[in-house]
Each structure stands twice: as structure tokens, then as C-alpha cells.
């Protein structure tokens, strides 16, 4: 166990510790922040500890190494349910969570997006709500998060150098008159900083950053937390239930350890940060006579309003070499379309961000299920191909939700999560518009052929335990504190009230910093 890096371990019956479930951007950051404040924390992570020296420059092998492959099921009209029925999400089961896999885009949610209901109005079928927190309140925490993560174009960090894929995007964006196109705000070191190397442009961002240039809790927050002597990391510990006492306060968590034995860790407070599918699943699994619809679910909103961003990709082939794989995956961002402008036929906005896939993933995701001459021709053009990802705000809908599928069990005999998703008409309108704009960008610099690529399994999973002003509208308050259970916290993207048009990790970290201050203050007051 020594190579896990713990300086301190805690007893199972030690009820003064805070238990954090999940070690990704939310859980890993929260745990480290609490430990730095002297609060004792036990981090339970379902995945293994994989040091970055063991990351693999091989897409499928890496996927098998890092991805969450426990059983899940899908339903709804989204194409992922047809193409990848057992893989609704492309997220990680490893120490560091999906912060190992993310591409590094670190964008602040825009002020008007925190007021989605006020700004967008009453959209039929959309369960829109304003966040109970404003951009102004979060700005100091955003600043801290950017400093901590080393976000380019903040705190004196230069931008990353543009690669070939970016050069194509920039050329097209400029010809279309877009004004906001650059190598973006990325939590990837452009210079040596904070003990971490600069980016060497490997092009394996999704497979884990071997140089540690991209921020991940795996090699930043987690070892920092352990170094305080106030944090214990327990990998391969899969939490199955959160227990509570007669008053409704949580008291312990049950988990299966690495050898499959059921353990009970007592707790003063619990944070759930298992990403937006496992987090609501765990609350639903923790139903009791006091909480018959699931823990902290008096609103009925646990698992609902599942958001995955309105996504799509556009790839285009050119007459000449592009080699999109040379360098960072998300090498450039166009932000002009992220504005609020309903004249385009939809509310909310989107970003266009370069994306590149290696040959193996390109063949699997370009048009799942496709075959024949047209597909082969697209593959023949691989080295002359540029690519972008469209990432925009999708509308919260109550019917898009995570539920327990009692017909399918996981390796512990627990019902798996079913992920149901249908596009809202606003999502479809935005995606169609995004396709057109993306194709226009590439045609402006001579694209020979463009390809509209359907959404991949979701990496941005949000909204399933959303924060709300009123307890009847959501699961937690603006600090991620459950409305129903004062010593239970939601610390991942589940707490997002709406999805906004920005990649979520920076905001997850920002909320975790704010939550840590709140928890420390509550503990100081003796409230929890």
C-alpha cells in the first residue's frame, strides 16, 4: 500500500473523517482542499491507481486501461443508445477520474448562462432554472482554479503553440469573419510551471498526459492532499450505499474493497463525486424507509435533467496533408457562436473546438456501423483530414434521467444505471446550425469533402443532482449541500443547474474550491 502515497490512514470506525467518493476534478480537488485546511479526509475511488508513466500511446488499449466499463444500459432516441448501447459515457474509472482523460479546455461559464431561465425564457419541454449562484460570486474562485490548474492565457501563462489542426481551423474562422479564435484557455502547461513540465504535443491527451503537462488530480491535488497527512486515498473501493441515522444525517458509507469485501467507513460528512451517472445512482441505491425515493431526493430531481452537451463533430478532407494527430487534441477554440442570439433559431450557444482522433478511434466513431466505399474513402483521406468538435448547451429535461435498471446487475449484484436521453428540439436546431458553421469553416479553406459526425458517448455528464434556490426544484444548494441532508454534498458536475456552452471541468474545480471553504466554515461552527 505504500506506493499509493498515503502518509496517514484512518480507521473504519473513525467517525470524525469526511468521506469523499471519487477522486476526479470534483472529488480530488475537494479532498485536497479540505486536507490542506487540516480536515481529515478518506477518498474512496472505484478505479485503480495508474501512474502517468504507465499511460499507453494506443487508443483502444488506453481505453481499456482507463475507461469506466462497468455495465450500464441506455434508452431513448439518441444515437449513442443504438451505436453503443452499453457505453452511454466515455469517462474514467481510475485514480484522477476523468481528469486523466479530459482534453484540458478551461472556460468560464458566461454570466448570462448562470441565469438560463431568465435569459432564455420559458421553453416548452425544458426544465430550465437559474443557478442559485452568479458568475460574480464565482469569479474569485474561477481565478484561484485557473491559477491552480495553470490555465493558459491567465496568470501570465502564454497560449499553447498552434498545431496543424488549429492552423486549418484558424484559417477558416478568419475567412468567415470570426473574431474569437485562438489556442484557447487550456489547463495544459505552455511553460514549466508548478513542478510540472510543459506540453510536448504528443496528441494523446485523451489517453492521459505522460508528461503531466495537462492538469489532472492524479498528479496534482491527490499527492498534495496526501502530503498534508490529512488525506488517505483508497483506490479500488466501490461505494454501494450511504447510510444515515434517525435524524437523517449521513453516518457511514458501505463499499467493496479491492478484494471484494464489504466494508463500512464511518463519516462525519460525505461528498459524492462519482460523475453524473454514478452519483445519482448511488443516491438512488441508498434508499431507506426515511428516504424511500433515494437519499436526498424529496424533490424527485435526483437523476433527472441529465445533460450531456449538444455535441457533434465535423471532419473535412483537404488536398494536402494535415496530420491532425500531431499535437494537443483540443488545439484551438472558436468562441463567437457561444453568445446568446435566438435569431439563429435556438437559445444557448456553442463552441467549436478542434478535435483529433487516431486512426483506430476515427474508424470507430466517424460513422458507427458504416461500411462500404464512401466510408473507405473517408478513411483514405485520414492524413488530409482536419476535425472539430461542437460543444453547446443542451436543454434540461426531466425525462432525460438516470434510473436504476433492476433487470441488469453489476459485478456486486447491484442494479446498474440506465441512461435515458432524447434531444430537445432546441438541441437539434443548435446541432444542425453547428454542423453548417463547422462545414463553412472548412470549406472556406478549401475542404474537398466534409463529414457530419454524430455525438460520441458522453464525456460531459451534468445536471443529475442540480443545485437550486428552492429545495423543491433541485437536490442541493449553491454549495452543493443536499437540501435534505446537511452533511451530504454533491461535488461533481451533477450539481450543474444547466449545462452552459463551456467544457465543465474548470467550473467543477471552481465549485469544489468554494465548497471546501463552506464545509470548513460549517465544521468550524459545529453545524456539521
Partner 1 sequence: MQSHPLPDPVLATPEAGPAPAAPIAATRRGVLKATGLLTGTLALSSVLASLAPSRSWALDLKGLSSHQGAVILAFSRHLYPHPHLEDAVYALVVKELDGKAAATPATKKTLADGVARLDHVGSGDWLKRGAALQEIDVAAMEGTPFFTLVRSTAVVALYNNDMAFAHFGYGGKKGNDGYLYKGFNDLKWLPNPPAAASGPIPKG
Binding site for partner 1 (CB under 8 A): 57-61, 63-65, 69, 84-87, 152, 158-164, 166-168, 170-171, 181-183, 190-192, 198-204, 210-211, 318-323, 325-327, 358-360, 362-364, 369, 371-373, 375-376, 379-380, 382-383, 445
Q: What minimum distance in Å lies between the beta carbon of 458 and partner 1?
A: 15
Q: What minimum distance in Å lies between the beta carbon of 278 and partner 1?
A: 17
Q: What minimum distance in Å lies between the beta carbon of 168 and partner 1?
A: 7
Q: CA–CA separation, 40 vs 8, rounded Å?
A: 9
Q: What minimum distance in Å lies between the beta carbon of 154 and partner 1?
A: 13
Q: CA–CA separation, 151 vs 173, rounded Å?
A: 23
Using the minimum distance from each CB to partner 1, give the nearer residue, 65 or 265. 65
The distance of Cα 346 from the centroid of its chain, to the nearest Å, equals: 24
Using the minimum distance from each CB to partner 1, give the nearer residue, 260 or 342. 260
Q: CA–CA separation, 432 vs 333, rounded Å?
A: 19
The distance of Cα 433 from the centroid of its chain, to the nearest Å, equals: 24
Q: What minimum distance in Å lies between the beta carbon of 164 and partner 1?
A: 4
Using the minimum distance from each CB to partner 1, give the nearer residue, 246 or 371. 371
Q: What minimum distance in Å lies between the beta carbon of 322 and partner 1?
A: 6
Using the minimum distance from each CB to partner 1, give the nearer residue, 11 or 258. 258
190: CB partners within 8 A, 6+ apart:
152, 157, 158, 159, 160, 161, 198, 199
Do 495 and 22 meet the contact criterion of CB atoms below 8 Å apart?
no
Question: What's the Rg (C-alpha) of the chain?
Answer: 22
Using the minimum distance from each CB to partner 1, give the nearer residue, 204 or 346. 204
Q: What minimum distance in Å lies between the beta carbon of 110 and partner 1?
A: 21
Q: Which of 266, 267, 271, 265 is nearest to 283 (CA)?
A: 271
Tell me the Ramachandran region of residue 192: left when phi exceeds 0, alpha when psi lies from -120 to 50, beta otherwise.
Answer: beta
Q: CA–CA separation, 263 vs 256, rounded Å?
A: 6
Using the minimum distance from each CB to partner 1, give the nearer residue, 315 or 325. 325
The CB density around residue 208, as the number of other CB atoms within 10 Å, is: 26
Using the minimum distance from each CB to partner 1, give the nearer residue, 168 or 528. 168
Q: Which of 287, 260, 286, 289 is nearest to 274 (CA)?
A: 286
Do 489 and 481 meet the contact criterion of CB atoms below 8 Å apart?
yes
Q: What minimum distance in Å lies between the beta carbon of 69 and partner 1?
A: 8
Using the minimum distance from each CB to partner 1, give the nearer residue, 131 or 206. 206
Q: What minimum distance in Å lies between the beta carbon of 327 and partner 1?
A: 6
Q: CA–CA separation, 232 vs 40, rounded Å?
A: 8
Q: What minimum distance in Å lies between the beta carbon of 49 and partner 1?
A: 19
Using the minimum distance from each CB to partner 1, give the nearer residue, 211 or 433. 211
Q: CA–CA separation, 224 vs 4, rounded Å?
A: 13
Do 105 and 186 meet the contact criterion of CB atoms below 8 Å apart?
yes
* Cα angle: 435, vertex 462, 397; to 5 degrees: 75
Q: What minimum distance in Å lies between the beta carbon of 26 and partner 1?
A: 26
Using the minimum distance from each CB to partner 1, give the nearer residue, 119 or 405. 405
Q: CA–CA separation, 240 vs 230, rounded Å?
A: 24
> CA-CA distances (angstroms) from residue 260 to 12, 240, 411?
16, 12, 10
E strands present in 421-474: 449-453
Using the minimum distance from each CB to partner 1, give the nearer residue, 124 or 372. 372
Q: What minimum distance in Å lies between the beta carbon of 205 and partner 1?
A: 11
Using the minimum distance from each CB to partner 1, give the nearer residue, 327 or 415. 327
SS3 call for 99: helix
Using the minimum distance from each CB to partner 1, give the nearer residue, 178 or 350. 178
Which residue's entry shows cell 481510475?
94
Q: CA–CA separation, 230 vs 457, rounded Å?
A: 36
Q: CA–CA separation, 196 vs 150, rounded Å?
A: 10
Q: What minimum distance in Å lies between the beta carbon of 86 and partner 1?
A: 2
The distance of Cα 505 from the centroid of its chain, to the nearest Å, equals: 6
Q: CA–CA separation, 208 vs 216, rounded Å?
A: 9
Do 225 and 31 meet the contact criterion of CB atoms below 8 Å apart?
yes
Amino acid at each position: 500500500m505504500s506506493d499509493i502515497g498515503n502518509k496517514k490512514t484512518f480507521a473504519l470506525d473513525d467517525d470524525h473523517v469526511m468521506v469523499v467518493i471519487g477522486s476526479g476534478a470534483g472529488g480530488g480537488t475537494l479532498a485536497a482542499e479540505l486536507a490542506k485546511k487540516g480536515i481529515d479526509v478518506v477518498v474512496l475511488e472505484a478505479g485503480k491507481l495508474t501512474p502517468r508513466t504507465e499511460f499507453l500511446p494506443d487508443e483502444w488499449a488506453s481505453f481499456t486501461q482507463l475507461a469506466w466499463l462497468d455495465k450500464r444500459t441506455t434508452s431513448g432516441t439518441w444515437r449513442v443508445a443504438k451505436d453503443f448501447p452499453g457505453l452511454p459515457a466515455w469517462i474514467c474509472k481510475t485514480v484522477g477520474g476523468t481528469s486523466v482523460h479530459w482534453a484540458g479546455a478551461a472556460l468560464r461559464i458566461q454570466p448570462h448562462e448562470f441565469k438560463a431561465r431568465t435569459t432564455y425564457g420559458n421553453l416548452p419541454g425544458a426544465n430550465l432554472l437559474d443557478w442559485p449562484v452568479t458568475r460574480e460570486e464565482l469569479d474569485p474562485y474561477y481565478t484561484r482554479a485557473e491559477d491552480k490548474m495553470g490555465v493558459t492565457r491567465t496568470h501570465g501563462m502564454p497560449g499553447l503553440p498552434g498545431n496543424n489542426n488549429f492552423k486549418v481551423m484558424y484559417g477558416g474562422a478568419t475567412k468567415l469573419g470570426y473574431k474569437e479564435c485562438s489556442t484557447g484557455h487550456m489547463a495544459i502547461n505552455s511553460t514549466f510551471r508548478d513542478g510540472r513540465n510543459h506540453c510536448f504535443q504528443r496528441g494523446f491527451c485523451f489517453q492521459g498526459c505522460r508528461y503531466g503537462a495537462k492538469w489532472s488530480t492524479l498528479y496534482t491535488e491527490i499527492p498534495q492532499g496526501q502530503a498534508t497527512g490529512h488525506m488517505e486515498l483508497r483506490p479500488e473501493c466501490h461505494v454501494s450505499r450511504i447510510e444515515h441515522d434517525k435524524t437523517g444525517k449521513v453516518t457511514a458509507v458501505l463499499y467493496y474493497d479491492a478484494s471484494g469485501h464489504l466494508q463500512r467507513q464511518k463519516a462525519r460528512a460525505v461528498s459524492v463525486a462519482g460523475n453524473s451517472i454514478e452519483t445519482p445512482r448511488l443516491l438512488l441505491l441508498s434508499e431507506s424507509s426515511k428516504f424511500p425515493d433515494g437519499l436526498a431526493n424529496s424533490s424527485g430531481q435526483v437523476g433527472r435533467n441529465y445533460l450531456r452537451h449538444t455535441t457533434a463533430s465535423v471532419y473535412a478532407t483537404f488536398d494536402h496533408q494535415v496530420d491532425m494527430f500531431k499535437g494537443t487534441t483540443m488545439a484551438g477554440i472558436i468562441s463567437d457562436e457561444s453568445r446568446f442570439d435566438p435569431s439563429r433559431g435556438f437559445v444557448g450557444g456553442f463552441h467549436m473546438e478542434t478535435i483529433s482522433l487516431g486512426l483506430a478511434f476515427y474508424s470507430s466513431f466517424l460513422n458507427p456501423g458504416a461500411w462500404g466505399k464512401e466510408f473507405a474513402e473517408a478513411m483514405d483521406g485520414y492524413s488530409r483530414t482536419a476535425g472539430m468538435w461542437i460543444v453547446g448547451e443542451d436543454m434540461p429535461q426531466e425525462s432525460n434521467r438516470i434510473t436504476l435498471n433492476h433487470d441488469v446487475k453489476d459485478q456486486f449484484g447491484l442494479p446498474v444505471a440506465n441512461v435515458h436521453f432524447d434531444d430537445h428540439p432546441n438541441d437539434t436546431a443548435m446541432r444542425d446550425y453547428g454542423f453548417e458553421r463547422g462545414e463553412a469553416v472548412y470549406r472556406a479553406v478549401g475542404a474537398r469533402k466534409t463529414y457530419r459526425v454524430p455525438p460520441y458517448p458522453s464525456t460531459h455528464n451534468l445536471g443529475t443532482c442540480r443545485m437550486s434556490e428552492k429545495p423543491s426544484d433541485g437536490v442541493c444548494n449553491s454549495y452543493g449541500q443536499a437540501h435534505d441532508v446537511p452533511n451530504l454534498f454533491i461535488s461533481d458536475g451533477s450539481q450543474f443547474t444547466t449545462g452552459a456552452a463551456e467544457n465543465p471541468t474548470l467550473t467543477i474545480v471552481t465549485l469544489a474550491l468554494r465548497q471546501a471553504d463552506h464545509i470548513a466554515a460549517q465544521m468550524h461552527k459545529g453545524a456539521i
